[in-house]
Structure 1
Amino acid sequence: MGTLNTEFDTSVKRIAVVGGGSWATALIKIFSEGDQVKLNWWLRNKKDINHIRRYHSNPRYLGAVKIEPEKVTPYEDLREAIKNADTVMLAVPAAFIIEALGDLTAEDFKGKKIISTIKGMIPKQNILVTQYMEDVFGIPHDAIAVIGGPCHAEEVAMEKQSYLTVASSCNEYAESLADAMKCRFIKTATVDDLYGVEYCAVMKNIIAVACGVAHGLNYGDNFQAVLVSNALQEIKCFLKRAYNIERDLASSAYLGDLLVTTYSQFSRNRTFGNMIGRGYSVKAAQLEMEMIAEGYYASKSIYEINKDLGAEMPITTAVFHIIYERISPYVEFNILKNKLT
C-alpha cells in the first residue's frame, strides 16, 4: 500500500485520461463541460487520434459527443500524456490495465493523483485497481479516488440526468474532483469508502451477468426482482468480511449502480449474460460483443477471494460455475432458485 500523505495539492487542474472507449469518452465530455479542467487524452489507436484531431469526435464510441480541442489534447505517447498532468484517470478495462501502463514506473507517477473509473479487478492477481496502483507504483492511499454510481456512457452522451459518487479517504481531494464534474446533467456526492465503492462496482457486474442469464432462460421480472434483492444481501455479506466499515448500501453508489447495471438496455454485462442464457458459448458471446464485460473476469476473482472469506454467495457461485466450469445455465439456475428467498 502506498504511504499515507496528509499534505498534497488536492486541486484538479489537468487530467491525463487513459483509455479510448465509451466510458472514457463520456468522462471527457463530463469534465469538458466546465472550464476548471484541461484534459490530456491517451488513446492506443493512432487513426483514432488523427480522427479526433480532425473531426473532434471519437470514431469508435459515442460519435455524437463533440471533443473540444481547446480543452482536450489527444496523445499517442502515454508517458507524455501524464507528464504535465496533476491527475491520472484510468478508464480502460481492468484486464488491460497492466498492458496499458506498459513500462511506466513509480517515477512517472511521482506527485500524481489517481482516479480509477474501472469497475473491474486485475485478473489472476485478484486485486482492485486502486490496490494495484498503490502496490506497484507507490501511490499514496489518500491520493487515490474512485468514481462510481449509476451512470451509463450512452446516457451521458445524450445528457440525461445522472449521479456520480467520488470515493476517497481524502475528503478535500474527493470534493475537488466532485466539483470539477458537476454540470447541468451531472450531480455529484462524496464518500470515504474507497474500497467499498470499488468492490460493489465489481460485484454488480457479476449480478448483471446473472440477470442476463435469467432473461435468456426466460425467467420473468418477478424472479429478477428476487435475484437483485438477494444480490444486495450477498454484496453486504462479502463487504462485511472483505472491508468492514459503516456504509449505506441503499445509496446510489451501491444500490443505484447495482440497479442500473442489472436492468438497463445499455448494460454490457447483462447483454453478455443474456447471450449465455440463450445458448451462446462464452467464447461466442465474447466474440460477438464489441466491448468487454467486466463481470466475466470479476466472477472468477470474487469467487477465488471468497474461498478465504467464506461469505454466502450463491449468485456469484452460480455465475462462476456457468462461465468457468461450463455447467449448463438451465441446470445451475434450477439449483440457484432454491437458494434465494
Structure 2
Amino acid sequence: MVKKELDNDKVIGVLGSGSFATAIVKMLTENSKTVHWCVRNEYVKGAIELRHHNPTYLTAVKFNTRNLCLTTDINELVTACDIVVLATPSIYLSDALDKMTCDYTGKIFVSAIKGIVPKVNDVVAHYLRDEFKIGYRHQAVIAGPCHAEEVAMERLSYLTIATIEENQKMLSRKFSSHFIKVNCSADILGNEYSAILKNIYAISAGIASGLGYGDNFTAVLVSNAIREMEVFLDAIHETPRDVNESAYLGDLLVTAYSLFSRNRSLGNLIGKGYTVKSAIQSMNMVAEGYYAVDSIYKTTQQKKMKTPIIDAVYRILYEEKNAEKEFKHLTKVLN
C-alpha cells in the first residue's frame, strides 16, 4: 500500500516568521508537498507570496510558494494541520496561543522555542500541559546545534527530536533531508531545559569575550557549563541521559562560540560596557537567554543548586552588578 507523503497523511505547519521559523519551513518543504505557515501579519504574507522569500529574516532562502499555504490566522493553521511547530520567540507564544479557539484535540505540538514562557514563568512543555491540557503524548521538542543561518545555506546540521517513541519515526521523516540529520530522544524536559540553559551559558561566553578573556578561559567556562547543566537537569528531571550528546553539549558549544549566536552577541556587548537595556535595544532579534535566566536562577535557588555561572549571569543582567568584578570572582571558582 502506498503511503501518501510517507507519513500517513500527516499535515504539518509552522507558527512564526522569524529566522528559525523560516529555517524550519525550509527543512519541511524538502519532504512535504504542502507546508502550512502562519506568519506575523499581512505584509509578511504578501511579501512571501510576491517575492518568494521572507522579507525580514533569511532573505536568501527562496520558496516555491505553490508548496506553501500561508495565513495570518492561527486557527486556520491548527485546523488544517495534524502537526503544529511552534517557532515564535518565547515572549510572544502566549499572545499567539491565546487566540487559538479551534479544536486541537489529538494534534501534535512541536516546540522549537528555546526559552521560558513569561506568562507562566515556565517551559513550553509545562505551559502546553497546564494551560491547554496537551499532554506529553502530543508534544515534541526540537533541540540540537542547528543555527538558522547554516540551515539557509544547506550546511549539514543535526537536529534532535524529543518525543514519545511512537511519534519519533514520523517526525524524523518530516525533518530529515540531505542537509538535516535527525536523532531521536525520549527526554522531552531534558532537551527543552538544556536548550534554554545553553543560551544563558552563551551569554556568559559573550561577556567573557567582551571583557577580553581569550579562548583558553572560554574553554574552561564551557567545560564547567556542561557540568553545571548536568547538575540542573538531574535536579529537575532525573532520567538516563548523556549530556555529551549533541542535543546537550553540541548545542551548548555552537551557541557559546558561533558568531551567529544572538545570546553570545548580547553578552559580548555587555562585556564591552553596554548597559543591559542598550545591548538588548541594539539587537534586531530576541536573545532568549536574557528572559530565561530570571526563571532559571529562581529555580536554582529554590532547589539549592550550586550554579556559579548562572548566578553570575543573573547578577549582571538583573542586579546590574559589574561584569568585570563578577567574572573575576567566577575565575576563582571554575576549574
TM score, norm. by length of structure 1: 0.94
Q: Deviations over 1:251-281 (max 9, x none)?
A: 1011000000000010000000000000111
Q: Is contact 1:13–1:38 with CA below 8 Å preserved after alignment?
A: no
Residues in 1 aligned to 2:124 and 2:33: alpha-carbon distance in whole angstroms: 24
Q: Deviations over 1:300-321 (max 9, x none)?
A: 1100111221111000000000
Aligned match for 1:262, one of 224, 240, 256: 256
Q: What is the aligned partner in structure 2 of residue 21 from structure 1?
A: 18
The percent of aligned pairs where both chains have the same amino acid is: 46
Is residue 2:316 matched to residue 1:319?
Answer: no
Residues in 1 aligned to 2:175 and 2:8: alpha-carbon distance in whole angstroms: 13
Question: Runs ≥4 in structure 1, deviation > 2 angstroms?
Answer: 10-13, 123-126
- How far residue 122 of structure 1 moved from its aligned partner, in angstroms, is 1.3
Q: What is the aligned partner in structure 2 of residue 91 from structure 1?
A: 87
Aligned match for 2:280, one of 286, 297, 306: 286
Q: What is the aligned partner in structure 2 of residue 5 from structure 1?
A: none
Residue 129 of structure 2 aligns with an amino acid whose one-letter code is E
Is residue 2:122 matched to residue 1:127?
Answer: yes
Aligned match for 2:52, one of 53, 56, 81: 56
Q: What is the aligned partner in structure 2 of residue 306 from structure 1?
A: 300
- How far residue 340 of structure 1 moved from its aligned partner, in angstroms, is 0.3
Q: Is contact 1:11–1:173 with CA below 8 Å preserved after alignment?
A: no
Q: Is contact 1:126–1:305 with CA below 8 Å preserved after alignment?
A: no
Q: Secondary structure at the match of 1:338?
A: helix
Q: Is contact 1:117–1:146 with CA below 8 Å preserved after alignment?
A: yes
Q: Secondary structure at the match of 1:209?
A: helix
Q: Deviations over 1:206-250 (max 9, x none)?
A: 000000000000000000000000001100111111100010111
- How far residue 37 of structure 1 moved from its aligned partner, in angstroms, is 5.4
Is residue 2:169 matched to residue 1:178?
Answer: no
Q: What is the aligned partner in structure 1 of residue 228 from structure 2?
A: 234
Residues in 2 aligned to 1:160 and 1:79: alpha-carbon distance in whole angstroms: 34
Q: Is contact 1:15–1:37 with CA below 8 Å preserved after alignment?
A: no
Q: What is the aligned partner in structure 1 of residue 212 from structure 2?
A: 218
Q: Is contact 2:120–2:127 with CA below 8 Å preserved after alignment?
A: no
Q: Deviations over 1:67-121 (max 9, x none)?
A: 222221110111112111111110011111101223324x532221110000111
Aligned match for 1:141, one of 132, 136, 144: 136
RCO higher in structure (CA 8 A, sep ≥6): 1
Question: Matched residue pairs, number?
Answer: 329
Q: Secondary structure at the match of 2:14?
A: strand
- How far residue 12 of structure 1 moved from its aligned partner, in angstroms, is 6.8
Q: Is contact 1:42–1:75 with CA below 8 Å preserved after alignment?
A: yes
Root-mean-square deviation (CA, aligned residues, Å) is 1.3
- How far residue 16 of structure 1 moved from its aligned partner, in angstroms, is 2.3
Q: Secondary structure at the match of 2:65?
A: coil
Q: Is contact 1:41–1:75 with CA below 8 Å preserved after alignment?
A: yes
Is residue 2:109 matched to residue 1:114?
Answer: yes
Cα pair distance change 1:12/1:121, threshold 3 Å: farther
Aligned match for 1:42, one of 26, 38, 42: 38
Residue 158 of structure 2 aligns with an amino acid whose one-letter code is Y
Residues in 2 aligned to 1:77 and 1:298: alpha-carbon distance in whole angstroms: 28
Unaligned ranges ≥5, structure 2 = 1-6
Residues in 1 aligned to 2:180 and 2:289: alpha-carbon distance in whole angstroms: 26
Q: Tell me whether 300-309 or 145-154 shows the greater mean CA deviation.
A: 300-309
Residue 81 of structure 1 aligns with an amino acid whose one-letter code is L
Residue 311 of structure 1 aligns with an amino acid whose one-letter code is M
Unaligned ranges ≥5, structure 1 = 1-9
Residue 54 of structure 1 aligns with an amino acid whose one-letter code is L
Residues in 1 aligned to 2:30 and 2:237: alpha-carbon distance in whole angstroms: 35
Residues in 2 aligned to 1:308 and 1:198: alpha-carbon distance in whole angstroms: 20
